[in-house]
Structure 1
Amino acid sequence: MYRRLRYSQLSAFYANYATKVEIDANIRDGFESQRYKPRNHPGRTKVKVATIPMAIQKAIKIVLDDNDAKMYLEESEKLANYLNSRHLPPEDGEIDEKTAKIYSSVSQNYYSKLNKELTEEEKYKSDKYIQSKVFNILKKNVYAWGNISYDKPTCLQYLIARAAPEYAVLLRVLDEIKRKLPDYKPRSFFDFGSGVGTGTWAVNTVWTGDIFEYFTVDTSQHMNDLARLLLCHGKDNVEMPYKAYFQRQFLPASSDIKYNVVLSAFSFFELPSMKSRLETIQKLWNKTEDFLIIIEQGTNAGFRVVNEAREFVLSVTDEQNKGYVFAPCPNDQICPRFLEQKTPCNFLMKYETLGYPSKVELFGELFSYVILRKGERPANDPQWPRVVRAPLVRSGHTICRLCTKEGELKEIIFSKSKFDQTTYRCARSSNWGDELPVK
């Protein structure tokens, strides 16, 4: 038996004896009365596959057909690939440090090959040669960051490439609040980097009829025009269905007006530095009444941005503005996945493509996110561990990788012989991104 287990699995096997894991006693009665079933336990994510609402799909088709958007299909694919492979802009200090190291290496290598004293003219030419070589090496080794100029064609390409996956991810993340707080009904919504309007579509799906005021910010006027057009069913002569719907190109500095739900999804890569990102997080947190949601691509760079926001908000000491992590983390400790710096903490959401111009297909989108809530963590928060990788389901046992309320990553082997039936079946039924209702 031991030879079949990997080292990490073997460690987890022994850990099972030291760590008692069982269904949360507060909900055990629910399982015994069959109000809950392991296959649909209260920690499971309800949204499995997302499809853009039919009314929005019709509006998208009208807009794309009106603009003969089939010509943008190839460019939209290139744009999607570029967005998914983006890195953060290099900081000034990073470039200076890298330049100094390269210069030292190149000059040392160059002068080590010379066996003579150089004249002043030769020194001048040598310095020019070394500087040129350093510059060429830097060009290959320093990421050439630039924010994207969203003109009308680029906005349409973005709509084709990103509307479906972004809406799916937003629906999945917002449903986290809906699942855990079914009676919560936000009245106002603020969307930073609103793009084609996927945030507005998602909040209206999750809280249909509850949102009264919408405030969206996007630096591209073309994006704002497109987002409004899609809400008006793709037609210029149709009245906006939401009375209190406001659009701006820049983030208002004032924090006098606060919003129940504040969102920034796939937007921070457009900011030129860490300083500007942190300043923006501060402004968004100041505008937050209940929840601040940050979502980025599920890459190392995207995860870094999300963790920046998480750490920044958790460092706030002002009693009026303190907050805690509502999801996905069951703790407010330093992220153990970030400390490892090997793989990002990310999750997978499945979605149906637009089907433009061909058939609808099923794809998956990797994303990283954090939901931060104003106030102190409630004393009755169960802080169930989060399943942070796809469970390995085997005959007679299931291996779950969990992030715990102690701020640790644990790998637990749930077997029929070592766990009660309810705990075992809940673990076996859980998916990547679910909470496991155990203590």
Structure 2
Amino acid sequence: MHNTNRSWQKSYGIAVLASGLALLFSLLISPLLENITFSVFFAAVVLSSWYGTRGSSLLATLLCSLAIALFFLEPIYSLNILALDGSIRLGLFAIVSLLTTELNAAWRRTELKLRESETRYREMAEAVQNYANELEERVADRTAALLEANKELETFGYSVSHDLRAPLRSMQGFAQALQEDYSHCLDSDAQDYIQRIVASAERMDGLIQDLLDYSRLSQVEINLGVLNLTDILTEALNQLEVELRSRQAQVNIEQPLPEVTGNWTILIQVLVNLLSNAIKFVPANRQPTIRIWAEIVGGDGKDTGTRGHDGDTGTRRGRGDTETQRHGDTQRVFDNFFASPRLPLPASFVRLWIEDNGIGIAPEHQQRIFNVFERLHTQESYPGSGIGLAIVRKGVERMGGQVGVESIEGQGSRFWIQLQKFSMKT
């Protein structure tokens, strides 16, 4: 409050002092320079406006106007101005002084707003910086927590793969030894129990391995490179040689197969799981037939019209004419059922298809089969862990791709994986 009073006294004191000095100076020089009088008083108004306030500038305008009227316009010492020229000059002085006062007041308001804006900007910048620092600290904390969680998962994976599987294998080995060495001492029920123990141990070991594979896909850092699909499929089929021969399955690979961007180990694991299902989920009285081809699709997944099966066909396993005819019929059913207009789009992805003549999948189950532990059939009908297709989806997604299925229940399924097409520009 004290500072406010002092500022008010200072601004109005400047107005009175400037007006008085202007009057004194004008009285001294008016005999010599008559035309400079108004300029001197206007300088007093400007000085009051610059160093004072709007009120002090108005006071200076009033005091200077009175001084001009009393001491420099006829009649002297009277406010009754007779000359028209004097009245006009005094009026112009008052108008110009008032305009100067208002302009200076507007400039001060603008300057004040700019200072307030600058202050708010600095406060906002400081707040943003503080928030950024806080967010960075949170990210660092979360990153550290995730790294710690990954270490714990790695430790858990090691424990599962070694500490838990070791006693499981011991149990399996002792059961097999009991079956081999003492089967003559056991009745049929006891032998059946031992066989169930061995089978359950094998299933549990396979389940643990699948869980480890799925967990590893979520954590391991992968490197992508150019892959030849023909080489990948050859390796995957070699790993399934026993299953293919036991079911007398035929695999038709339709060339050409383009190169894709992916990871060698993961893509082989994905194809082994898909091909294994194509062999497994086929009725016992039907010879498994697997057809593999590739097509180039656009960025939105639509077929561009370039299909691998327009080229030559390589047959992995032989079969009879009757079975070939039935496979052709199944293919025509699929093509008619899923037919859709194909538009030319920029080719940037490769979609690899694996078609079987198995039991098919009902429409309501075609999405959930890619979840972990999703099984549509009993263990006795079609053995498995229920993780294979989850591994397929996780592996393909880690390589930046997509996976899907088209299926007709009772006639077969078409699984597809979509990966980025290898290009020299990438």
Q: Same fold (TM over 0.5)?
A: no
More helix by share: 2
> Highest relative contact order (Cα 8 Å, sep 6+), 1 or 2?
1
TM-score tier by shorter-chain length is under 0.3
Q: TM-score, normalized by length of structure 2?
A: 0.20
Q: Considering only CA atoms, is the larger Rg found in Structure 1 or Structure 2?
A: 2
More strand by share: 1
